[in-house]
Chains A and B, each alone.
Chain A
Amino acid sequence: MPTETVQPGKASLLYDPKIRGYVYQAALLAVVGFLLYSAASNAITNLRAQKIASGFGFWHNAAGFDVNQKLIPFSASGSTYGEAFYVGLLNTLLVASIGIVLSTFLGFFVGVARLSSNWVLSKLAMIYVEVIRNLPLLLQLFFWYNAVLKPLPNPRQSIDLHFFGLGWPSPLLTGLMAIAAGLAWLLYKSSDRLANSDRDRGLVKLVSGVVLTVATVIWLVYSGILHVVSSGFLLNNRGLYLPDPQLGPGGSLIVWTFLIGIVASIIFRVWARKQQEATGKQYPVGWIALGLIVVLPFFVYLVTGRPVSFIYPEIAGFNLRGGIQIFPEFVALLLGLTTYTAGFIAEVVRAGILAVSKGQTEAANALGLRAGPTLKLVVIPQAMRVIIPPLTSNYLNLTKNSSLAVAIGYPDLVQVFTGTVLNQTGQAVEVVAITMAVYLTISLVTSFFMNIYNKRMALVER
């Protein structure tokens, strides 16, 4: 039988994948290069025809416009376009960083609430997520700015958030509430002994639980939490006015104690973890941190003779004087970004928690861990692996979405730089390129750090 050997043979150059690859790439490069070249040459011709100078010479020209919210000194008379850029950039970073923190808290709360066994709470969380995620952010910003904040009364008729107008609680009511709460708690605890059947026991627990709850809520509210939090808060169509804290002599000591407390608690936490790994002994990290960060500065505050005073905003003519003014544009943008992003973070958190298998919870329970430690030590760490990557992109989205500020007039980077500066100078190429470069840098830096964090949290497999 003659064996036929098939010679691979030299394929025609036309069908050689390597050659084809080179040809394709060369063709693509040529097309892209031609597009870039013709775009650039067209741009040069057009700019020349419109008599617009190219280059970054405008950076040091006087700006001639003012910005209401500025973190660095800026004025219409003396400042340059370059400084306008920094004002806008700082405002973007400010709203993005506060928004990230707030939306993380709200998002985690809503995400956990959707998984709660509490029926009303989970349904409300579901409605929140569905509504927020299915409406355009711009519409929500318009809503917050035009429909909620703009119709507020003028400064003379500011709404005083001081305790929502409830006044101080009467001692009698406080006492009655305390007694009711105490009795209800006793009843709740001893319902097993008081009742004969399961049915009665359930009833007693239900009734005493409700009474206890009502009493506690009213009592908490009336014991002045709101009073402490909201005194001197004024709200009107020019924004939110907060008391301006002034540090008297020795006041900086409190700030220093606070900072030292934070550092000390971090050090203590590291030490406690090492101790636990070495000896198995656990330390009350949370309580000690609370003591160092909250109680110690408060103690210093009392010892140094209460050196913190507040300048409260007050009506002067047609405006308010004193206090810290937070502009409505900032409030609207922050509210919109926070609630919008929280809707997405909630779903990320929910997916992450659901991704942890039920067996993990059961195993933790079998080891004798209670619900709190189970969540903290077993479920959340594993959920974080699933949560972190999409959480990162939500943070980036929030930062990018802060550019919608231009629609409601919050002076962020896009509004100040790509809006006003571009209009005044007409240097579209430079201005848009700088703006895009800023956002690209923020994106890349954020993902770089989140990737490091992600790597640390990732599951180490064989």
Chain B
Amino acid sequence: MTDATLENSPYAFVRKETLPQETAPLSVAGPLAWVRANLFSGPVNSILTLLCVYIVVTTVPEMVRFYFIDAVWSGTNRDACLADKIGRPVGACWAYIADRFQYFIYGSYPVPQRWRVNIVFAMFALGVVWLLWERAPLKKVGLFFFFVMLPIGAYVLLLGGPNAEGFLRWLIILTLVLMVVYLVLSFVPALARFWIGPAFLAVEEAQPPWKRFYRPKRLILLSLVVFGLIAILADTIGLPRVDTGLWGGMTVTFLIAAVGIVFSLPLGVILALGRRSRLPIIQLLSVIFIEFVRGVPLITVLFMANTMLPLFVPQEYSPDRLLRPLVGVALFAAAYMAEVIRGGLQAMPKGQYEGAMSLGLGYWQMMRLIILPQALRIVIPGIVNTFIGLFKDTTLVTIVGIFDFLRTIEATLVDPTWATPTTRATGYAFAAMFYFLCCWGMSRYSISVEKRMAAGQKR
């Protein structure tokens, strides 16, 4: 009989039920094991851990105490932040930041005119969100807004005065002329033969007139709206001239950064194309410019812009004091941007060029429609990185006497109204927070772009 089962087996030592599960040994799982594996896995690691913990324990509570617990949050002058005046230990003097906050943002820009800066800030924010938000509509219109409308609008709004208003009037007339041209072209497409190839013309002609050249239509409408709004503002409230010597604070920091990116990107594209060109003279000139600028510090470029730019132009056109570092920063950033974009161009497979050529596209059409969109997309993280560097480098204009954000902080530190032993630490902490938030936000964005594009490449 072989019906021996567990139940009727004569042997008592066969276990009939499973044992209750034991918890894993502490050295393998659980917090203790984690501590052992990650903190005390050997003598060297243990020493390092203790050293690190010592550093954290000695610094963090002290910083929390200084910047939060003992901090002074309100007050109107230095008396609020003096230990012997308020009778307790004083940490960070946030009252000073609150009092000087407007100055940090606008510098010496006249108080009744500050709404103009706010409008520019709003436009800037709109442009940034438009471009950076992945699912925002009409991306190309957004590009036009950020790279053309914003600089022009900011120039007219921030500077004001008869010059800017004349410029604005001229722009509106130009836009109206463009609109007329567009209308004529839409109904008589044969006229567009000069800059649209015959192949494209056929496509355009197959469509009803109101759908032809739809892109310029939107751009022209946008220009009309923006210029019209500014013109109405100028007419109703008036835009008196505010000299650049009065500009300061975050306004100038953002201005330099924005000018840097707006001009360095197209200039960088041109330089990168020039460097990869097969025409020897164009290539040589591009290489010389890029290597020269990349080989010298930004400070010397700024000194050059500051001292030599006025020499190189006729006396009567001597550039504005704020314009000089702007030129320097834009040229400097362009050289770095060119190298980033060159990387993207080099990453393009040859087949893309050949495919474009086999379609019968010319050099500029090939670059504009096939190569650059792909190449630029590859190097977005690199462009953002360059931009982070540029944003940090805007602080250097301090050295040639421009009142950027860091300079306004430095200026308030020596102001006797708020001179206390802790003002300096507070001011630098505030500046650090500002720059950290901007730069860290940008680097996060570039990482997220990188991840998103990597997801598309995954098989």
Residues of B within 8 A of A (CB): 25-28, 32-33, 35-43, 45-53, 55-56, 278-282, 285, 292, 294-300, 303-304, 307-308, 310-315, 388, 392-396, 398-399, 406, 410, 413, 421, 424-425, 428, 431-432, 435-436, 439-440, 443
Contact = CB atoms under 8 A, between A and B. Distances in A.
Given A25-B282, A135-B439, A404-B299, A146 B424 contact: yes
A382 interface: no
A29 B311 contact: no
Interface in A366-410: 400-401, 403-404, 406-407
Contacts of A414: 297, 299-300, 303
Interface in A17-55: 21, 24-25, 28-29, 32, 38-39, 42-43, 45-47, 49
27 contacts: A28-B281, A28-B285, A117-B41, A118-B38, A119-B38, A119-B39, A120-B53, A120-B56, A124-B56, A134-B443, A135-B435, A135-B439, A136-B394, A136-B406, A137-B392, A139-B431, A139-B432, A142-B406, A142-B428, A198-B28, A199-B27, A209-B42, A400-B297, A432-B300, A432-B304, A432-B308, A443-B295
A121 B395 contact: no
Interface stretch (A57-65, A302-310, A315-323, A434-442): A434-442
A227 interface: no
B297 A198 contact: no
Given A38-B312, A43-B312, A134-B436, 7 more contacts: A39-B312, A133-B439, A209-B40, A216-B43, A217-B51, A432-B304, A440-B292
Contacts of A212: 43, 46
A116 B43 CA distance: 14
Contact of A198 (B25, B50, B56, B278): B25
Q: Which of B278, B296, B406, B432 gathers most chain A CB within 10 Å? A: B296
Interface in A99-121: 116-121
A119 B313 CA distance: 59
A56 interface: no
Contacts of B43: 209, 212-213, 216
A24 B282 contact: yes
A201 interface: yes
Nearest to B283: A25
A116 B51 CA distance: 15
Given A24-B279, A403-B297, A422 B443 contact: no
Nearest to A39: B312
A43 B292 CA distance: 21
Interface in A131-155: 131, 133-139, 142-143, 146-147, 151
A176 interface: no
Contacts of A418: 299-300, 303
Nearest to A437: B296
Contact of B299 (A151, A199, A403): A403
A210 interface: yes
A131 B424 contact: no
A428 interface: yes
A213 B47 contact: yes
Contact of A134 (B40, B48, B439): B439
A142 B49 CA distance: 31
B433 to A, nearest CB: 10
Interface residues of A, number: 68
Nearest to B41: A117
Nearest to B52: A120
**10 pairs of A and B residues whose beta carbons are closest in the complex:** A202-B27, A198-B25, A428-B307, A443-B295, A400-B297, A134-B439, A213-B46, A39-B312, A136-B392, A403-B297
A111 B37 CA distance: 20
B45 A29 contact: no
A192 to B, nearest CB: 12
A139 B46 CA distance: 35
A205 interface: yes
Contact of B49 (A45, A120, A436): A120
A251 B443 CA distance: 55
Contacts of B49: 118, 120-121
Contact of A25 (B279, B294, B410): B279
A209 B40 CA distance: 7
